[in-house]
Structures are given as C-alpha cells and as structure tokens.
Structure 1
Amino acid sequence: MKIDDDVLDAIRNARCDGPALYLSGQLEDRLYQRVNLALSAVGGKWDRWKRAHVFPINAAEAVAGLLAEGEVTTDAERGYFPTPSALVDEILDLADLQTGQEVLEPSAGTGAMAERIADRGAVVDCVELDPGRAEIIRNQDYARRVTVADFLALPVSARYDRVVMNPPFAKQLDIRHVQRALRWVRPNGLLVAVMFAGLAFRNNVLAADFRSQVREARGTITPLPDHWFKGIRTVLTVIPVRPQLYELAGHRTAEAPVSDQRASQDGLF
C-alpha cells in the first residue's frame, strides 16, 4: 500500500519513546484513520490509556522501513487473517493433540493457536514472517522456539508430531505452505490447515495435484462456514502422514505430488 505524503508527515512528526509512538496534536479524523492503518500494518496498536500507538518492538525501528520506502504491506495484502478463537478449538480437536507432543505452527501470527496448543500440554514451536508479531509470541513465553522467517524458504530442521496452520491464501500460497509443512511431519503424524476454498474447485495443476495428494494420504477437505473469515470461503484440510507415503523417495508426496486425473472436481472428500 502506497502511503500518502500527509500520512508520512504525521508519522515523521510523531514522538517515539521505547515501544510507544505519540502523534503530534489532534489529527483530522480522515487523516487519523489513514495514519492508524499505516501504523497497524507495522504492528502498532492504539492504547487509549497511554494515548499512543504501542508496538511489540521499539517504535522508531518499527516505522523506519515505512518512512524510508513510503509504502507498507497490509495484513490483507499479505493474506493474513487471524484464526477466530472458536475455530482454534475445532482445529486442535481435529489435530488430536496429546500431552508432550511436539507441534509446529508456521505463519503463527500473534499466537492465537500456539498459546492454546501449549495449554493442552503440547510443546509448540512457531515460525512467523513478521518480527513484531513474532515478538508478541516470545513475550508470552508459551512457545519453546520462535523463528522469524519466510516459511517457504526455511530449511527443514526438525520433525513434529503435529503441524497446525492458517497460512496466507493469496496466489495459492496456502497450497505451497501446506506442501512445505508436510516435510516437517513425522511418520504417523498429522497436519491440520485452514485453506482457501478455491483449492476444492480450481482445475490448475497445483490445485489438482494437491487434491490428489490429500486423496492419496486418505485425508479430508471440509468446507467451513463463511462467517469465520468475513465472507472469505475457507476449508479445513486434514492430512495424515502415513509411513508408506513418508518413505517415498525424497518425500515425493510432501513437496512434489503426483497428478491424478481422477481427482474429484469439487475436491471434497
């Protein structure tokens, strides 16, 4: 998102004190809304008691890139849609978590799922692209490890009993994230992911191969009600990692699924 000059000026004129950013004077309402959107995109949240935007990291560092580049990527542009609390419970029930299991959450956001995973007695590691959101998870101290990285570029360094995830949806990134995540799951493990509903009806190679991959693993793709993500159609995908599939050369089913021309057109099975 390109940032208007008057918004940049308002942020430049603000005072930073540790994690807090104090705007100068009373901004006109429409200007304030645009300033608030820009600050929110880099992790700032309005604190009405402090009368400041508070960041999980030093405020000056948080806005430095925004001021230098004159643009910012919003959560919607990233495909970031936080997982609603009630849906977290449904996801974790499907994951059948057991005390002491090791769980990975890629694209962990601010830890909505990770915290509840820890509450259920499992050990959770998180990967999050945004440093501010990753710092929020670190500060809560329920994750064993928090890695700031692009999950698609992160080398596989461990195996987990479970992977639970709500990856970005844009440009079929959800499919690529799930395929990558399967490489982190141990034999007899399980992956549960929120995904964009388009994977169930798109006929391109990536979507068709993914449906074949889920079918081969005897997994499921189940539609979710539209209200969970403000009208965005989503599904819950559950993929067991069976030993005979895991042992295929190079984890073929995890990262380079085989096409299946018989895959169902609606992808719901």
Structure 2
Amino acid sequence: MKIETDVLDVIRAARCDGSALFLSGQLTDHLYQRVNLALSAVGGKWDRWKRAHVFPASAADAVAGLLAEGEVATDAERGYFPTPPALVDEILDLADLSVGHEVLEPSAGTGAIAERVADRGGVVDCVELDPRRAQSIRDKGYAREVITADFLTLPVSAHYDRVVMNPPFARQLDIQHVQRALRWLRPGGRLVSVMFGSLTFRTNAQALDFRSRVREARGTITPLPDRWFRGISTVVTVIPVRQLPELVGRRTVQVQASGQKAAQGGLF
C-alpha cells in the first residue's frame, strides 16, 4: 500500500516515546483513518487510555521503514486473515488432536490456532514471517518453538503428528503452503487447513492437480460459511497421510527406501 504524502507528514510530525507514538494536532476523520491504517500495518494499536498508538517494541523503529519507503504491506495484501475462535475449535476437532501430539502451525499469525492446540494438550511449534507476531507468540509462552521465517523456505523436518493452518490465500499460495506442510508430517498424520474458496472451481493445472491428489489421499474439501472471513469464500481441507505398511524380512529395506516419500507427504 502506497502511503500518501499527507499521511507521511502526520507520522513524521508525531512524537515517539518508547513503544508509544503520539499524533500531533487535530486530524480530520478521513485523514486519521488513513494514518491509523498505515500505523496498524506496522503493528501500532490505538490505546484510548494513553491517547497514543502503542507498538510491541520501539515506535520509532516501527515507523522508520514506512517513512523511508513510503509504503507498507497491509494484512489483506499479505493474505493475513486471523482465524475466528469458533472456527479454531472446528479445525482442531477435524484434526482429531490427542494429548501429546506434536503439532505444527505454519504462518501462525498471532497464534489463534496454536494457543488452542496447547490448551488441548498438544505440543505446538509455530512458524511466522512477521517478527512482531512471532514475538507475541513467544511472549505468551505456550509454543515449544517459534521460528521467524517464510515457511516455504524452511528445510523439511518430517516429525509432526498434525499440521493445522490458515495460510496466505493470494496467488494460490495456500496450495503451495499445504503441499509443503504435508511433507512435515509423519506417516499416519493429518493436515487440516483453511483455504481460499476458489480452490473448488478453479480449472488451472495447479488447482486441478491439487484436488485430484486430495481425492486420491481420501481427503476432503468442505465449503465454510462466508461469515467466518468477512464475506471471503473459504473451505477447510483435511488430508490424511498414509501409514507405511508393516513389512518384515527382505522387504524392510524397500519400506525404508520408500518411507521418506511417505513421511514427507504421501501422495503429495
């Protein structure tokens, strides 16, 4: 999102005091709304008691990049849509989560799903690209590990019982994230993901291939009510990862050789 000059002027004139940023002068409603949008995109939240926008860390550091570049990515542009609490419970029910399960939440946002995993007795690790959100999860203390990174760039570590996720939707990134996440599951694991609703009707090769593989894996793609994401069409996808056959004798070597593929996502 490109920041207009009048918005930048207001932010430059603001006073920073630790994590708080105080706006100067009287702003019209229209100007304030645009300023608030820009500050929110870099982590600022209006605190009516302090009469300031408060950031997770230094306010001056938070707005420095915005002022230098004159633009910022909004949550919508990043494809970030927080998971409503009631939907989180549905996702975890579909995941068939048990106490002690090792669970991964890629693109964890503020940890809406991960925190409920921990509440249900799961051992949860998180990956989140945004440093502020990643730190917020660390500060709450329910995650075993929090990695600040782009999930698609991380080396695969296939040792999880469950993956639960709400990935970015833009440019079919949700398909890429789910395909990648399946490779992090042990045989017998299960992935549950919110995905963009266009998955059910797109006819490009990527969507057609993905739907075919979900069917082959005996997974499901189920439409969700539009109310969950402010009118945005979404689905919930459930994909089981196959168990390896129990073989003995000379065939054990073959199982071990083929097991790597199964452990890294089965049909995917």
Could you state the TM-score of these two structures normalised by the residue count of structure 1? 0.90
Q: Structure 2 matches for 1:203-222, cutoff 5 A?
A: 203-222=203-222
Q: Structure 2 matches for 1:20-99, cutoff 5 A?
A: 20-99=20-99
Give the root-mean-square deviation of aligned CA atoms: 1.9
Distance 1:31 1:256 in 2: 52
Distance 2:266 2:202 in 1: 19
Q: What is the number of residues matched between the two proteins?
A: 257
Query: Is the CA contact 2:44–2:55 (under 8 Å) kept in the aligned structure 1?
Result: yes
Provide the identity percentage.
75
Distance 1:65 1:134 in 2: 19
Query: Is the CA contact 1:104–1:162 (under 8 Å) kept in the aligned structure 2?
Result: yes
User: What is aligned with 1:150?
Assistant: 150
User: What is aligned with 2:106?
Assistant: 106
| Deviation of 1:108 (Å) | 0.7
Query: Is the CA contact 1:179–1:255 (under 8 Å) kept in the aligned structure 2?
Result: no
Question: Is the deviation greater in 35-44 or in 19-28?
Answer: 19-28
User: What is aligned with 2:3?
Assistant: 3
Change (3 A) 1:253 1:213: farther
What whole-Å deviation, never above 9, does each CA across 1:105-138 have from its counterpart, x for those lacking one?
0111111111111110111111111111111111
What whole-Å deviation, never above 9, does each CA across 1:146-172 have from its counterpart, x for those lacking one?
111111111113521110000011110
Q: Structure 2 matches for 1:132-171, cutoff 5 A?
A: 132-171=132-171
Q: Which runs of 5+ in 2 are unaligned?
A: 246-254
Q: Which runs of 5+ in 1 are unaligned?
A: 258-269
Question: Is the deviation greater in 173-182 or in 5-14?
Answer: 5-14
Distance 1:227 1:158 in 2: 34
SS at match of 2:103: strand
| Deviation of 1:179 (Å) | 0.3
SS at match of 1:243: coil
Q: Which structure has the bigger radius of gyration?
A: 2
Query: Is the CA contact 1:107–1:167 (under 8 Å) kept in the aligned structure 2?
Result: yes
Letter of the 2:78 counterpart: R
Q: Structure 2 matches for 1:117-136, cutoff 5 A?
A: 117-136=117-136
Shift >3 Å, 4+ stretches: 244-257
